[in-house]
Chain A
């Protein structure tokens, strides 16, 4: 096993310093060391997108990111969006539009959508489908996820 190193990163707005092997998967560090179990593992090889988090604002598969690459960087997980008492417009729309069923792909899906909406506040339907193409959902057929992102864009605009 590789030596452990000290790595400092920002997770959901808080600065943390952790000693861990640099080759550890970011996914495991988040789930096991930081208790952030909202990030899910569906395949462990970067295909399903369930472990999507934002690394400096860009969606990545946390199962494919080595912890050693995260020094000085900023990670956002689903826990960094809203709380059950204060859902963000995107989270709220995901519930009301029926974009979440079993919910296991939902955290990753939300982060891909969040990254899109930060870049493109009023995305077209093809842009939405492209942005979530790396997040497999086996329940919904995607239509209601697309609707939710559309609706979230509308609500975000209405708030700003």
Chain B
């Protein structure tokens, strides 16, 4: 049997998706189903005095749920600070306060307009600086959610003794996921058993939330993933809240309830990428050898903790970039504000700090009068080097090859040497970014997660993978089939993938953190290989053919299934107290080159070409893998050039696709993607994670290209035409 790994097996869920028969949550209808809606606050901070239902309105057939109906009013996550429905306190402008359900959607919409919230407004904390000033305390006395400190060698103080010292401040704004399918869930009760089906990344996160709020045991909750129309992290923690709301309405009404957000509600209320400010001081020799760096990372966590501590951790751990530094201090602080809680978004804190360090090294290169890529190449981490946390890189460092391939494919060196090309009122330039992304959970995360996978032998020579890792478009269903098929030595067409439902699949850990292929895929591989060994033993013991052995094992419940739990690699040591050690078992590496055209009259930027070379360890499925790189890169280009969430007094002014602008096919450049394979010994076939990595490089590569084209230096994303104009007014324009 020819191996399936390394071939572009067409995605298995493809035919249903191109025929319109794939069933997403909004396509599902249950008998007697009601539609649900959420009543939200409209001030960013205040005391909730009451929820009033208009007595003149006919409330017949309308179910109303408030905080009084919630058994345990706290969403269990890292902290349990977020209420399911607000009771006394309003902490952001889209805080859910009450829920309504009705069979008729028109009446539901009318009823929403007849609920009034009595709120006494309080002065809100809306920015990182407001929070740090702590004139209003909304979390503890200092508004701080979490702090980390990473030190290496003599620490950041060593910067001052260096030959060349460069300082800079780099900022990023919110980013909305804009998965094309908004959040949605159907909840119903089957006796005392809570059931939900919907759009989600992590069925066991939702299960945990329901267990905690309703006080149910594991087998009292069944969470099933419907076909999911994109996630990008936005459906990591948020769907728990939607599921809880649907179940509260279902409990009170005694009917199934579908709760599907409209686009505007989704943009307003759901999580977003954390806004950031990163302050860097670095020291190097005159020849460009980097020596010391001192970095302060500030993230805006929003109104509740959600996943902010881990997002901040990943941000801090990526803050030094793909480079060698002898002396390091990274201080990272996340603060609370009265804005909708920020949360998981592809890259998870790393895009913000990679943006900062890449822009900073471009600044160092400018100071030294050298090309940024030449400076960066000179200082790249190599095998045997140690990172800021003291991790020694022992294998799978393909960054040099990525740089070489991206340079060659894009013609970067020649284009830079030739200088910017100005034709009429258009300037063309190229820029690059070099970066890394830790695959899998940070530090000790995987040890605590204990992800599990089951592979079953089925009659008829078929096998089935059961996992809580979901396919949200990235191709889990297909690549897991490939890994299992190769492990068992059968064709990929003989492997099934069970619908992820907590009643039926083991907890593989969440579908996040670029861990699905590398971590969960490795246990799919182990389970398949274990079954293969059983088959071989059975053949030998009974002198039977493979197919006879297969059918015997498949018919024996005690032997048909292999359930494997992930064991973190030996020798991976992490100390949470000192924040040192092996931050990630392996890193993906990449080099991006962007070419842009800037209109010198309107300051519009168009990305005209993009070359990415990405070390993914081993490519499981080239088409799907390149699709991850290109799609992630375009999200980064959107973040860089058009995606600006505008707020005023804590409210979002552009919560629609009409005015929050994501790239179309005409905004997207042609992509040239090169996949590099520096194998990781513990990944399936050598594979590492790829999902998040491409989000890290697009923005700094585009900023460097704008700088090359125009001489304009931008240190904040997004870089809108008005930002380029402003920079040109301040000087530096051609």
Across the interface, B662 reaches (CB within 8 A) one of A78, A96, A138, A143, namely A138
Could you say which of A43, A107, A146 has the most chain B C-beta atoms within 10 Å of its C-beta? A43
Considering only CB atoms, which chain A residue lies closest to B627 in the complex?
A: A98
Chain B min CB distance to A136 (Å): 6
Q: Which A residues touch B19, using CB under 8 A?
A: 38, 78-79, 81-84, 87, 91
Against A, the Cβ 8 Å flags (1 = close, 0 = not) of B620-664 are: 000110110011111100000000000000000000111000101
Determine whether B308 belongs to the interface, using a CB cutoff of 8 Å to chain A.
no
CB of A42 within 8 A of CB of B633, answer no
CB of B635 within 8 A of CB of A47, answer no
CB of A40 within 8 A of CB of B181, answer yes
Stretch of B92-100, B223-231, B283-291 that contacts chain A: B223-231
Q: Which A residues touch B577, using CB under 8 A?
A: none
Q: Which A residues touch B24, using CB under 8 A?
A: 40, 104
Across the interface, A102 reaches (CB within 8 A) one of B180, B658, B662, B666, namely B180
Report how far A147 CA is from B634 CA in the complex, Å. Answer: 16
CB of A44 within 8 A of CB of B263, answer yes
CB of A47 within 8 A of CB of B180, answer no
Report how far A101 CA is from B632 CA in the complex, Å. Answer: 12
Report how far A140 CA is from B15 CA in the complex, Å. Answer: 17
CB of B15 within 8 A of CB of A102, answer no
Interface of chain B residues 23 through 74 with chain A (CB within 8 A): 23-24, 26-27
Stretch of B139-147, B471-479, B488-496 that contacts chain A: B471-479
Report how far A32 CA is from B609 CA in the complex, Å. Answer: 43
Q: Which B residues touch A106, using CB under 8 A?
A: 17-18
Residue count of chain B within 8 Å CB distance of chain A: 56
Determine whether B14 belongs to the interface, using a CB cutoff of 8 Å to chain A.
yes
Interface of chain A residues 72 through 87 with chain B (CB within 8 A): 77-79, 81-84, 87
Could you say which of A45, A130, A140 has the most chain B C-beta atoms within 10 Å of its C-beta? A140
Determine whether B671 belongs to the interface, using a CB cutoff of 8 Å to chain A.
yes
Q: Which A residues touch B668, using CB under 8 A?
A: 129, 141-143
Against B, the Cβ 8 Å flags (1 = close, 0 = not) of A1-22 are: 1000000000000000000000
Considering only CB atoms, which chain A residue lies closest to B24 in the complex?
A: A104
Q: Which A residues touch B631, using CB under 8 A?
A: 101, 138-141
Determine whether A144 belongs to the interface, using a CB cutoff of 8 Å to chain B.
yes
CB of A101 within 8 A of CB of B475, answer yes
CB of B230 within 8 A of CB of A110, answer no
Determine whether B16 belongs to the interface, using a CB cutoff of 8 Å to chain A.
yes
Against B, the Cβ 8 Å flags (1 = close, 0 = not) of A84-114 are: 1001000110111110111111110010000
Report how far A41 CA is from B20 CA in the complex, Å. Answer: 13
CB of B11 within 8 A of CB of A43, answer no
Report how far A43 CA is from B267 CA in the complex, Å. Answer: 11
Q: Which A residues touch B635, using CB under 8 A?
A: 138
CB of A133 within 8 A of CB of B623, answer no
CB of A104 within 8 A of CB of B229, answer yes
Q: Which B residues touch A98, using CB under 8 A?
A: 8, 11, 623-624, 626-627
Q: Which A residues touch B16, using CB under 8 A?
A: 84, 103
Determine whether B117 belongs to the interface, using a CB cutoff of 8 Å to chain A.
no
Given contacts A98-B623, A102-B230, A136-B662, are A141 and B18 in contact (CB under 8 A)?
no
Report how far A42 CA is from B668 CA in the complex, Å. Answer: 20
Q: Which B residues touch A128, using CB under 8 A?
A: 665
Chain A min CB distance to B674 (Å): 14
CB of B180 within 8 A of CB of A95, answer no
Determine whether B214 belongs to the interface, using a CB cutoff of 8 Å to chain A.
no
Could you say which of A48, A87, A106 has the most chain B C-beta atoms within 10 Å of its C-beta? A106
Across the interface, B182 reaches (CB within 8 A) one of A42, A96, A103, A132, namely A42
Considering only CB atoms, which chain B residue lies closest to A129 in the complex?
A: B665
CB of A130 within 8 A of CB of B671, answer no
Interface of chain B residues 150 through 196 with chain A (CB within 8 A): 177-182
Across the interface, A139 reaches (CB within 8 A) one of B15, B23, B627, namely B627
Across the interface, A137 reaches (CB within 8 A) one of B180, B227, B626, namely B180
The 5 A-B residue pairs with the shortest CB-CB distance in the complex, in nearest-first order:
A38-B20, A102-B473, A104-B229, A103-B17, A141-B630
Which residues of A are at the interface with B, using a C-beta cutoff of 8 A?
A: 1, 31, 36-45, 47-48, 50, 77-79, 81-84, 87, 91-92, 94-98, 100-107, 110, 125, 128-130, 132-146
